[in-house]
Structure 1
Amino acid sequence: MSELDLELEVNGRKVRRRAGVHQRLLDFLRDDLNLTGTKEGCGAGECGTCSVFVDGKLVKSCLMPAAKAQGTKIETVEGLAGTGDLTPLQKAFYKTGASQCGYCIPGMVMAATSALRENPDAGIEEIKERLGGNICRCTGYSKIFEAVEIARDVIAGTRPAAVLEADAVDASYIGNNVRRLDAPSKVSGRLRYAGDMVMPGMLHMQVLRSPHPHALIKAIDTSAAEALPGVACVITAADVPGEDGFGVFVHDQPIMARGKVRYVGEAVAAVAADDVVTATRALSLIRVDYEELPAVFDAEEAMQAGAPVVHDYAQDNLVKHIPIRKGDVETGFAEADLIVEQTYSTQQVEHAYLEPEAGLAYVDHDDVVTVVSPSQNITHHRHMLAKIIDRPINKVRFIMSPVGGGFGGKEDMIYQGMLALAAMKTGQPVRLVFTREESIISTAKRHPARITYKMGLTRDGRITAVSFRMISDGGAYGLSTEGVMRKAAILSCGPYDIPNVQIDTYGIYTNNTPSGAFRTFGAMQAQFATESHMDICAEKLGLDPFAFRRINMMRDGAVTHTRQTLDSVSMGEVLDAAERSSGWEAGAPAMRGPQRADLAGVGTRPPCTLGARVRKDSAANRQEVA
């Protein structure tokens, strides 16, 4: 591997090191100088987590070859305050709660510092523009912008430095603005995430992934990869000593593909080597003999007789069906003056947390297999891994590293088992850090869903019956699908008191990327359909959508379709507050004129026309007037 001599200044110190010609400035700072405050979120210059100063100019270090840093002055987030106190800007981030998961914050602090250095009087619009190259997935940006404005004023002397100090707290912390304990380590770049952690003798893992959505694995030849200098081990499903299977409700997913692959991106083999370059080179030497199989990519098609079978135990490709019944829907529809039926679709959604999946595994001096990762479910993972590696539970340990954004996407044990196997096989620590591409192709997404919604109504706006049928694409493995289907069924009809209900939610196996937990899992898909349908029905009845909801909303003492009695229901107060604060003009949307310019953000059409999709055809969009 070719190298070059680098001489530069980093955070005020002269540095002379040999660097690989392939290295980016980001790699040099993190791997050679251990300045891990500079993060990698995308590797493509889009997210801004890798922002540093090069000769005073803000640069995304993932796009700059290390060789181009020759003779320059580099400043990273660790160097902003040196060994002293936090800068006013970092204190302002601490004050406002601008750091949540914290992964984007070092880069955000660098971009904000650049903004105030270039224009100490920057207004809010300029601040937004200058931070436009940095992405945050947690905060909604408001507290970040507020922090920059406070820091600007403190630096200019128009506000006292005391505004950066903690607010006084009364007898209780509840109801008071309390600063996060971990914020200083986040704004200074000192906090170590899994991908920042190193250990002596650490190996680096890379993963060979399937190019096919559905195929038998006839043979895997790893001999050439194992013979490559620098390779410590190659692992496949054959290395699993125990019960190979993990998941949340059904343990149907092997650590690596066993016998066949079920989606593009599924792990087939993994290499642990002295460095990432060697591990990557070894992947190209592994030979896998595949026999392609018919695949299915649509959940409704997967339910049909003769569809390709994803898992032998589920010949109908059904992960889970949740049926709920209340009253008699046929009687309810017979009592209706109007029946409205629509089909709604929601799409697969990527979590896009800024910290890609990463982990570090080792076997300690007491023979305890230890995995460090941003797992959102470490107790469950520990118990599953103990069975997989055939060790007693007291010989398995999980340590939860700081989570650089999760949103439910890090609940699944996608890669921790591979790390544990490699650490056991080599006796050395092993680290794996996903690229953004790996994260997208191989980890769980929000369940796509197709919902057929049929509602019976009286002329005065009473809902007499609802039939709700939701078919969700669970992808290649079960993961959280059962829980998502339960949540969707429980919340399917929203906060409305409906006497006759028929609910069916189906999670279906396909050869798509697995679907899993994502904020509001199941509820978002169901509520999108319910609230869209409510607006459509209100318009067809000529009723104001707020009035229509008030007619049907649950009240104190209501019994849900899962037979839960509600003692206290705040639906009326929520509707009142929403109507009041939005400036909503009374009347059905069809009865009102064009949207007023001063009501920006208040829609005049059903929300179903935005974002996800409503399918309108003769079968799915049916109205019957009794």
Structure 2
Amino acid sequence: MPKLQIDAEVNGRKISREADPHARLLDFLRDELNLTGTKEGCGAGECGTCSVFVDGKLVKSCLMPVAKVSGSRIETIEGLAKPGDLTPVQRAFHKTGASQCGYCIPGMVMAATSALRENPQADIEEIKERLGGNICRCTGYTKIFEAVEIAKAVIAGDMPETALEEDSVEDSYIGANVRRIDAPSKVSGRLKYAADMKMPDMLQMQVLRSPHAHARIVSIDTSAAEAMDGVACVITADDVPGKDGFGVFVHDQPIMARGKVRHVGEAVAAVAAEDLVTARRALAMIRVEYEELPGLYDPADALKPGAPVIHDYAPDNLVKHIPVRKGDTQKGFAEADLILEDDFGTQQVEHAYLEPEAGIAYVDPDDVVVVISPSQNITHHRHMLAEIIAKPINKVRFIMSPVGGGFGGKEDMIYQGMLALCAMKTHRPVQLNFTREESLIASAKRHPSRVHYKMGLKWSGQITAIEFDMLSDGGAYGMSSEGVMRKAAILSCGPYEVENLSVDTRGVYTNNTPSGAFRTFGGMQAQFATESMMDMAAEALDMDPFEIRRINMMKIGSSTHTQQTLETASLDRVLEAAEIASRWEKGAPRVRGAERGDLNGPDTRKPCTLGARIKNAAKDDAKTTERVA
């Protein structure tokens, strides 16, 4: 199709450019005008990172066809202030620390600017409403709203310009409001993330991904794709010159599927071409013949005798088992007045960082393979890649680009090897930018888990024994599973001193999307179960939930689950602060609120409403009934 002629005013400057008919305004701004402060986070108008003004109105540029803006006046984040200067809104974002990873901030600044332009007297509720189309995954929004309120007051003259200046620091920086040194580049849109970087003669990469969860690769025919005009190279696992395998603890993952695919979305082949459209068309020309294999989608099924084997080195599908033993649990349960037993589950969770995965690779004049990406573990990636591409370590370099949100999800080397192979094969720079859909299907998630929990207690609330058994879905590859299982085992029973415990955490292979690092690294799954059990125990024993935690909390001199003696401990202060801040009403769950008349009528609540099965342990049924009925 013929190109479109676009004549418009962009940031006060008349421009005249040709554009592809299918292009969005976002593509035009980033690719044709190099205005990369406008980001792509979702491509669906949901996240707001691409927000710009068109004829004075805030729009999502990922939803607007470029054909609609000819003759329009467009304003991007780069046009809000003169180069080197910042608007009051941008300065307020700098002042309050509203920018963390910074990827959402240009769009957020545009939305805040729009709010104050349309209503300079907007109150906090209106500000929240007007910023509702913009997502931030780092700050929690409080500092963003605070920044807009400060900017509003300064613009209106209710606060002096000095309110936007940095706070003075007296004796110590600890506890002082110190501004981030990288904030100006973020609030102005000048900071370059991996997808924003451009290099001369750069190719665009696209990846062919498996539609099957478990299948043997019978054949791959790339000849038609390689013959296409504009295609620089096509790579498969056969192009790996060295030892093909990477991972955090076990190197079980190939650069691209080798022999078989193990999850939907696994990379099978990749194309580097002159432009994105050509690369995508080439993918459609690759022919892959699969032989489907039985899949495993439940971790319990993966451990059953005769289950399909996902990795030959692990015939039992076990990634890692971490056992922890302390004391004698049989003795502890025998001493218990009450035994609670229940099951808990947590789900797979997507990191949803606003910056989709992206990277560039090239070979420098000294034949050093250079990879630029928002990797959270570049030293480890560098050592793994050197083995994969069969080069000495001094011929491999990793550069960490600004990370537009990670939360552990960019710790794994998922795509950097493919970039390096294409750069080596073409001797040209190669860029890969994931779509949001690609990020969802191919990147690691939080481990789904199931915990079977058994807890013995005295009537006093003292824990006598715990059995904790966690089964986690590691997905198709090991990634961070060993570390997550180890941390889950260490933190399994919370900050409570337990004399007798038995802990088992297991991560197993399935044909689901791989599980990897995510904030708390196994601690969240474990603590959800433990703290739920503590609340259930408080309810069963008619005890205040704070009190039962104080009875069991670790103190100075306590022995941890792994037999370490604590020299410091602060849970008592944490509990006290939480109790005060929450205005906690003291008392057992069945008694709290009695002065408000909650117990005037019949008490229809059941003990252990979270579903624990209460069992009498070495005590007569009458006493158990007296305590928990």
TM-score, normalised by the number of residues in structure 2: 0.95
Query: How big is the shift at 1:111?
Result: 0.1
- The aligned residue for residue 45 of structure 2 is 45
Give the Cα separation in 1 of the matches to 2:344 and 2:10: 55
- Check whether the contact 1:340–1:624 (CA below 8 A) recurs between aligned residues: no
- The aligned residue for residue 557 of structure 1 is 557
Give the Cα separation in 1 of the matches to 2:407 and 2:278: 33
Asked whether 1:540 is paired with 2:529, we answer no
- The aligned residue for residue 626 of structure 2 is none
- The aligned residue for residue 403 of structure 1 is 403
- Read off the aligned partner of 1:289 and give its amino acid letter: E
- Check whether the contact 1:343–1:621 (CA below 8 A) recurs between aligned residues: no
Query: How big is the shift at 1:595?
Result: 12
- Read off the aligned partner of 2:169 and give its amino acid letter: V
Root mean square deviation, CA, Å: 1.4
Query: How big is the shift at 1:568?
Result: 1.4
Query: How big is the shift at 1:495?
Result: 0.7
Give the Cα separation in 2 of the matches to 1:174 and 1:545: 34
Q: Cα deviations across residues 151-188 of structure 1 (Å, max 9, x unaligned)?
A: 00000000000010111123432222111010000000
Asked whether 1:623 is paired with 2:615, we answer yes
- The aligned residue for residue 191 of structure 1 is 191
Q: Cα deviations across residues 76-126 of structure 1 (Å, max 9, x unaligned)?
A: 000000325200000000000000000000000000000000000000000
Asked whether 1:567 is paired with 2:567, we answer yes
Query: How big is the shift at 1:64?
Result: 0.1
Query: How big is the shift at 1:373?
Result: 0.2
Structure 1 unaligned residues grouped into runs of 5+: 597-604
Asked whether 1:209 is paired with 2:209, we answer yes
Q: 3-state DSSP class of the match of 1:419?
A: helix
Give the Cα separation in 2 of the matches to 1:229 and 1:414: 28
- Check whether the contact 2:449–2:525 (CA below 8 A) recurs between aligned residues: yes
Asked whether 1:488 is paired with 2:488, we answer yes
- The aligned residue for residue 296 of structure 2 is 296
- The aligned residue for residue 477 of structure 1 is 477
Q: Cα deviations across residues 432-466 of structure 1 (Å, max 9, x unaligned)?
A: 00000000000000000000110001111111000
- The aligned residue for residue 17 of structure 1 is 17
Asked whether 1:320 is paired with 2:312, we answer no
Give the Cα separation in 1 of the matches to 2:581 and 2:85: 42
Q: 3-state DSSP class of the match of 2:62?
A: helix
Give the Cα separation in 2 of the matches to 1:66 and 1:245: 43
Give the Cα separation in 1 of the matches to 2:85 and 2:595: 51
Q: Structure 1 residues 58 and 284 mapped into 2: Cα distance closer, same or farther (>3 Å)?
A: same
Query: How big is the shift at 1:592?
Result: 3.0
Asked whether 1:367 is paired with 2:359, we answer no
Q: Structure 1 residues 93 and 393 mapped into 2: Cα distance closer, same or farther (>3 Å)?
A: same
Q: 3-state DSSP class of the match of 1:248?
A: coil
- The aligned residue for residue 602 of structure 1 is none
- The aligned residue for residue 602 of structure 2 is none
Of 28-37 and 577-586, the range deviating more from structure 2: 577-586
Give the Cα separation in 2 of the matches to 1:195 and 1:417: 17
Equivalences for residues 3-402 of structure 1 within 5 A: 3-83=3-83, 85-402=85-402
- Read off the aligned partner of 1:112 and give its amino acid letter: A
- Check whether the contact 2:414–2:443 (CA below 8 A) recurs between aligned residues: yes
Q: 3-state DSSP class of the match of 1:353?
A: coil
Q: Cα deviations across residues 541-597 of structure 1 (Å, max 9, x unaligned)?
A: 11111111111111110011101110111111111111111011111223234999x
Q: Cα deviations across residues 341-372 of structure 1 (Å, max 9, x unaligned)?
A: 01000000000000000000000000000000
Structure 2 unaligned residues grouped into runs of 5+: 597-604, 619-629
- Read off the aligned partner of 1:302 and give its amino acid letter: A
- The aligned residue for residue 523 of structure 1 is 523
Give the Cα separation in 2 of the matches to 1:418 and 1:399: 16
Give the Cα separation in 2 of the matches to 1:19 and 1:215: 41
How many residues align? The count is 609
- Check whether the contact 1:320–1:481 (CA below 8 A) recurs between aligned residues: yes
Query: How big is the shift at 1:622?
Result: 5.1
- Check whether the contact 1:342–1:622 (CA below 8 A) recurs between aligned residues: no
Q: 3-state DSSP class of the match of 1:45?
A: coil
- The aligned residue for residue 430 of structure 2 is 430
Give the Cα separation in 1 of the matches to 2:27 and 2:488: 44
- Read off the aligned partner of 1:624 and give its amino acid letter: N
Q: Cα deviations across residues 247-304 of structure 1 (Å, max 9, x unaligned)?
A: 0000000000000000000000000000000000000000000000000000111111
TM-score, normalised by the number of residues in structure 1: 0.96
Give the Cα separation in 2 of the matches to 1:554 and 1:58: 53
Give the Cα separation in 1 of the matches to 2:172 and 2:128: 35
- The aligned residue for residue 578 of structure 1 is 578
Give the Cα separation in 1 of the matches to 2:588 and 2:17: 70
Please list every run of at least 4 consecutive aligned residues from structure 1 whose deviation after the TM superposition is greater than 6 angstroms: none
- Check whether the contact 1:492–1:523 (CA below 8 A) recurs between aligned residues: yes
Give the Cα separation in 1 of the matches to 2:435 and 2:589: 47
Q: Cα deviations across residues 122-142 of structure 1 (Å, max 9, x unaligned)?
A: 000000000000000000000
- Check whether the contact 1:321–1:505 (CA below 8 A) recurs between aligned residues: yes
Give the Cα separation in 1 of the matches to 2:84 and 2:530: 55
Asked whether 1:451 is paired with 2:451, we answer yes
Identity between Structure 1 and Structure 2 (%)? 75
